[in-house]
Structure 1
Amino acid sequence: MINLVIMSKSLNSIYTVNYDSENTFLQGVIAMPARRALEKEKIDSLEKLSDYSEKEILQLHGFGKNTVMKLKNHMKEHQVFFKEL
């Protein structure tokens, strides 16, 4: 049990160092792996996201049908849509 407490404290300190609190784009909408993939592509707004097709976004790490559906619903609420091919 003591080892678990020590490990937990170690992981918390690692998580705190690596956590980027400024990256809030789509926080609560899609999971972190998909958000990191968008960040890697320098997509940090819905306007930039609208420059991509759904097919292009599906090719990114962390994106599957469920994530894209969540993303499309969020975009629709803000009247932004994927690029048509």
Structure 2
Amino acid sequence: MTSAPDSDLPAKLGKPAERALAAAGIQHLSDLTSWTERDVAALHGVGPTAIAKLRTALAERGKSFA
């Protein structure tokens, strides 16, 4: 499963993280602004590396987790 074509999530997320985010309805970085970092990390398949990539991508756009 790859990110949706219009998704702005980092391209180098692992497949388990991509599946976990998709299952939670997260397709865009803006979706993460209503989630806490802790809640995203609790999703099965989302580990510290994915969280770091998401945090960096959010920061690059002036956004952050809730």
The TM tier, using the shorter chain, reads: 0.7 to 0.9
- Higher fraction of helix: 1
**DSSP 3-state at the match of 1:62:** coil
The Cα RMSD (Å) is 1.8
Deviations 1:12-41 (A, max 9, x none): xxxxxxx56x62432523112111111111
Gaps of 5+ in 1: 1-18
With a CA cutoff of 8 Å and minimum separation of 6, indicate the structure with the bigger relative contact order: 2
Gaps of 5+ in 2: none
Judging changes above 3 Å, is the alpha-carbon distance between structure 1 residues 56 and 40 closer, same or farther for their aligned structure 2 residues?
same
Structure whose CA Rg is larger: 1
State percent identity of aligned pairs: 28
Question: If the length of structure 2 is used for normalisation, what is the TM-score?
Answer: 0.80
